[in-house]
Amino acid sequence: MDPLLTAAAAGLRSKAESLDILANNLANANTGGFKADLERFTRYTGEGAESDPAFGLNSPNWIPDMDRHWIDFTEGVAERTGRNLDLAIEGKGFFSVAGPQGKLYTRNGNFETRPDGTLVTGQGYAVLDATGTAIKVDPTRELQITSTGAIFQQGEQVATIPLYETDGQDGVSKFGLNYFSWSKPARPLGEVTIRQGSLEGANVSAAQSAVRLVTIMRQFESLQRAVSMSAEMNRRSVEEVARVTG
């Protein structure tokens, strides 16, 4: 197969995947606690590549390939809301909640209370304390939450919201828009900073995304021209062979 066509086609596929990721990031630019996805590219090495005499030069065994995307956990900008059940994490850490298939972690602190006083997320997942038990408060009383996560009602501490982290991104996967599941054990943080009455926004910059969109589209157009050039070269080769042998 034509090495130029192979590399260009692989590049087009990778750029199409980049556009999908970028579109998803932009669609969630207003989702609280959303963390952007970024792509990571590598080179796919075909079978028998090492036995190819051209291996290491311009061999068609090497083509661009998106290894996988990774999650950008950069902290988003916290905005003041004034609502007592809105919590923003300053620095490291994730809230722990009871997901439909087990524990999930999130930085979106837009919480509510059920009629029975259970503290839940907007999707109805119960917020968990350090023992893994759903946190409950008196829904008829005002509450104050300190920077360390301690919940007070009428001057008495009724619960504490812990924060967790994990090592690296291996085993971290997204669940929904702003939840994460971890295959590695969660590690509780000793020092935490929680801001009551604020919410962390998405870490997606619309301006940077627009610039990146233009860059990807230009690269896409260049690869399309390469495909057209390869097709034209192949057509001329066939015509020349026919003319010589005719």
Residues with Cβ within 8 Å of residue 61, at least 6 apart in sequence:
45, 46, 48, 49, 52, 55
Give the model's pLDDT for residue 149: 96
Ranked by mean pLDDT, the top range of 29-38, 138-147, 205-214 is 138-147
SS3 category, 18: helix
Same domain? 157 vs 135: yes
15 in a domain, yes or no?
Answer: yes
83 in a domain, yes or no?
Answer: yes
Same domain? 29 vs 95: no
What does DSSP say about strands 179-182 and 102-106: parallel, antiparallel, or unpaired?
antiparallel
209 in a domain, yes or no?
Answer: no
Which one, of 170, 185, 172, 162, lies nearest residue 35 by Cα?
Answer: 172
**Distance (Å, rounded) from C-alpha 178 to C-alpha 119?**
18
Lowest mean pLDDT among 30-39, 136-145, 208-217: 208-217
What's the domain range around 43?
Answer: 3-72+214-245
Same domain? 50 vs 65: yes
What does DSSP say about strands 194-196 and 86-89: parallel, antiparallel, or unpaired?
antiparallel
Same domain? 188 vs 228: no
- pLDDT surpassing 70 at residue 201: yes
Give the model's pLDDT for residue 63: 54
Contact status, residue 61 vs residue 45, Cβ threshold 8 Å:
yes
Give the length of the chain.
246
Q: What is the mean pLDDT of residues 147-151?
A: 96
Same domain? 131 vs 185: yes
38 in a domain, yes or no?
Answer: yes
206 in a domain, yes or no?
Answer: no
pTM, whole model, 2 decimals? Answer: 0.76
10 in a domain, yes or no?
Answer: yes
Q: What is the mean pLDDT of residues 200-216?
A: 87
Give the model's pLDDT for residue 100: 94
Same domain? 65 vs 152: no
Task: Please list the alpha-helical segments (H only) found in the chain.
Answer: 3-27, 206-245
208 in a domain, yes or no?
Answer: no
Which one, of 23, 194, 228, lies nearest residue 95 by Cα?
Answer: 194
pLDDT, mean over the chain: 83
Same domain? 222 vs 174: no
Place of tokens 């209370």: 113
pLDDT tens digit sequence for 7-23: 666 777 777 888 888 88
DSSP 155-196: TEEEEE---EE-SSSTTEEEETTTEEEESSPPEE-SS--EEE
pLDDT tens digit sequence for 90-146: 999 999 999 999 999 999 999 999 999 999 999 999 999 999 999 999 999 999 999
Same domain? 82 vs 194: yes
pLDDT tens digit sequence for 43-64: 544 455 455 554 444 455 555 5
205 in a domain, yes or no?
Answer: no
Give the model's pLDDT for residue 13: 76
Lowest mean pLDDT among 139-153, 196-210, 218-232: 218-232
Ranked by mean pLDDT, the top range of 11-25, 61-75, 76-90, 218-232 is 76-90
Same domain? 101 vs 48: no
Give the model's pLDDT for residue 151: 97
Number of structural domains found in the chain: 2
- pLDDT surpassing 80 at residue 72: yes
CA angle 221, 226, 229 (to 5 degrees): 125
Same domain? 195 vs 88: yes
Same domain? 182 vs 85: yes
Same domain? 130 vs 228: no
**Distance (Å, rounded) from C-alpha 98 to C-alpha 46?**
43
The residue ranking higher by pLDDT, 85 or 9, is 85
